[in-house]
Amino acid sequence: MRHLKIYDMIEAVTRAGSIRKAAEDINMTASALNRRIQGFEEEFGTEIFERLPRGMRLNPAGELLLHHIRAQRSDMARVRSQVADLSGVRRGHVSIACSQALLPYFLPRQIAIYRRDHPGVTFDVRVRDRVQAEQDLVNFESDLALVFEPAHMVDFEVIHAAAQPVCAVMSAAHPLAGRRELRLRDCLDYDLILPGARYGVRFLLDRAAKRIGRVLEPAVETESFEMIRYHAAFGQGVGFQIPIGLDISRQPDIAFAPLSEKDVAKGELLLGQLRGRALPVASIRFARQVAAALSGLRG
């Protein structure tokens, strides 16, 4: 597997953007790294980097090669997982890109359940918005993605879909607390605590507001769903999230209620992978477990 070392060097230069910075990152001299890259290009038959005044970047041939490198590593991880499974060792690694809403309750619980039966399997959880999650799959940085309302779907192969309504989140003492369902116009009389435009919840809210001739004007806009929950609990504002990220029993000072589908359509929480990719055994099994858990959710 000596070729894997040069692949590491190519990825290091790609990340760093220069030979000098990459050499520092991987503890080599710049001259030695440059010789290895040039030697590979000669053997490969073409240059893979553009040499720029202030650094280096992959050219189109390099982009194709990098995709091959990542695919080869993915295949190697899958084969190792299958071999370990044959021997009964049950080892492996699962990388997953997920929306913030999955972090407080759902995903930690699913990982704990899985690791009770497969303690040799490790996990890498990457917090990603709906665009970044799909890019993670394309770059082979994540095996699975679990995101709300993905934006592009070109390379996203859906394993399971679960409907999720948008919920208004507020203090338990808020005038709207206790209602079984809310209309969007009920919430617009209060300070709005909104996620950024990159998030699926905000996309659905903006589209719904536009239909009734309104523009959402947040009192607080944040990239943190945790900030939305806690700020709503402390004041008279109204935040918005999906129910999989909410649990009153864990945070009794907040209340939440779904918005009427007459105003805001339900969105889809999608579990998926890169289209056409063969996943390692551990990732396949975890995906099946998560799909079964999502099937039990009330939409």
Share of the chain above pLDDT 90, in %: 40
- Residue-wise pLDDT for 106-139, tens only, equals 999 999 999 998 898 999 999 998 788 888 898 8
Kindly state which CATH superfamily the domain 89-163+268-295 is placed in: Periplasmic binding protein-like II (3.40.190.10)
User: What's the pLDDT at 240?
Assistant: 95
Kindly tell me if the per-residue pLDDT of 85 is higher than 70. Answer: no
- Does residue 102 contact residue 244 with C-beta atoms inside 8 Å? yes
Report which of residues 241 and 88 the model is more confident about.
241
What is the average pLDDT score of the chain? 87
- Residue-wise pLDDT for 192-242, tens only, equals 999 988 888 999 999 999 998 988 999 999 988 889 988 888 888 999 999
Q: Where are the domains of the chain?
A: 3-58, 89-163+268-295, 166-265
User: What's the pLDDT at 281?
Assistant: 85
Residue 57 CB neighbours (<10 A): 14
Pick the CATH number of 166-265 from 3.40.190.10, 3.40.50.12280, 3.40.30.10, 3.40.50.10540: 3.40.190.10
Pick the CATH number of 3-58 from 1.20.120.450, 1.10.10.10, 2.40.50.140, 3.30.390.10: 1.10.10.10
Question: pTM (2 decimals)?
Answer: 0.70
